[in-house]
């Protein structure tokens, strides 16, 4: 199985900050990666697909980049509603595997 | 509007069985692959099982293979997960998720709200 390693596991930031979350794959997954946001008690919501394509309806403050084994999710200016847990998901190789999550908290 | 509504969760003893349902609306489940993804309390996401939108190809995580069975009822537009020989480690919120295409590619674009399964004596 492909291992997805996210960093950091948690992050404290303030409204208006720029934050970056990284996901590293244990082998080349091309650009077969999505980013998901999950708020407490809610289902995950897809933000990014194909590593860098923004899901319709997601604010342009979110962006994704990377290919191969290293990927980043960037939030250019944190809004109060962005405080949540973020997961990456690789779907290049079976079985699909998630990163362990990054909890983004208010400083 | 696409909606997924899970049901069937609850408290079950170790070794017991439970069947989860995921009622879909706004699309036809035969046109898309569907998956179950679970999340243990306070933990991350784990893919559990998938079924293709065409044919009857099914896929399972090693942790549930031989114990869980995924299926669907086209007439009810509903996805199921039959869970047998349940263990404490199966305790989790179970989400159904829609794929973007008919073959299982794990492009999860819509998710249900989840149903909690608790395995405990």
pLDDT tens-digit readout, A31-52: 999 999 999 999 999 999 999 9
Cβ neighbours, 10 Å, residue B90: 22
Dist. CA A79–CA A32, nearest whole Å: 27
Q: Please report which confidence band the pLDDT of residue A98 belongs to, taking 50, 70 and 90 as the band edges.
A: very high
The mean predicted confidence, pLDDT, of chain B is 95
Q: Yes or no: say if A48 and A64 are a contact pair by the CB < 8 Å rule.
A: yes
pLDDT of residue A107: 86
Q: Does B5 touch chain A (CB under 8 A)?
A: no
Q: Which of the residues in chain B have pLDDT under 70?
A: 55
- Residues on chain A touching B112 (C-beta within 8 angstroms): 43
**Looking at CA atoms only, how far is residue A14 from chain B in angstroms?**
24
Nearest to A35 by CA among A107, A89, A95: A89
Dist. CA B106–CA B102, nearest whole Å: 10
Structural tokens at position B2: 């696409």
**Looking at CA atoms only, how far is residue B73 from chain A in angstroms?**
24
Give me the mean pLDDT over the A72-86 stretch. 96
Nearest to A29 by CA among A9, A8, A3, A47: A3
Question: In chain B, what percentage of residues exceed pLDDT 70?
Answer: 99
Task: Tell me whether the omega of the peptide bond preceding residue A8 falls within 30 degrees of 0, making it cis.
Answer: yes
Q: Could you report the per-residue pLDDT of A4-27, keeping only the tens digit for each?
A: 999 999 999 999 999 999 999 999
Contact between chains at B113 and A43 (C-beta distance less than 8 A):
yes
Q: Could you report the per-residue pLDDT of B38-47, keeping only the tens digit for each?
A: 999 999 999 9
- Which helix (H) or strand (E) element contains residue B3? strand B3-7
Contact between chains at A43 and B111 (C-beta distance less than 8 A):
yes
pLDDT of residue B13: 97
pLDDT of residue B56: 81
Category of B75 on φ-ψ map: left (φ > 0), alpha (ψ -120 to 50) or beta: alpha
From the candidates A95, A98, A101, A102, which should be mutated to test the interface with B, based on the most B CB atoms within 10 A? A95
Dist. CA A33–CA A94, nearest whole Å: 13
Structural tokens at position A36: 């998901």
């Amino acid at each position: 199985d492909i291992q997805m390693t996210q960093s950091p596991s948690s992050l404290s930031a303030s409204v208006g900050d720029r934050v970056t979350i990284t996901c590293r794959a244990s082998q080349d997954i091309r650009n077969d990666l999505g980013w998901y946001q999950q708020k407490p008690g809610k289902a995950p919501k897809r933000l990014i697909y194909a590593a860098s394509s923004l899901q319709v309806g997601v604010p342009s403050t979110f962006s994704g980049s990377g290919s191969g084994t290293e990927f980043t999710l960037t939030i250019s200016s944190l809004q109060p509603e962005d405080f949540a847990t973020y997961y990456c998901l690789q779907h290049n190789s079976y079985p699909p595997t998630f990163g362990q999550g990054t909890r983004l908290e208010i400083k | 509007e696409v909606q997924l509504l899970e049901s069937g969760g609850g408290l079950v003893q170790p070794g017991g069985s439970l069947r989860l349902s995921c009622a879909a609306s706004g699309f036809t489940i035969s046109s898309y692959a569907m998956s179950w993804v679970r999340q243990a309390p306070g933990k991350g996401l784990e893919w559990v099982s998938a079924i293709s939108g065409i044919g009857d190809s099914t896929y399972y995580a090693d942790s549930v293979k031989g114990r869980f069975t995924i299926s669907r009822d086209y007439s009810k537009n509903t996805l199921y997960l039959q869970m047998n020989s349940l263990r404490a480690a199966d305790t989790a919120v179970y989400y159904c998720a829609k794929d973007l295409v008919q073959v299982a590619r794990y492009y999860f674009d819509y998710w249900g709200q989840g149903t909690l399964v608790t395995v405990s004596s």
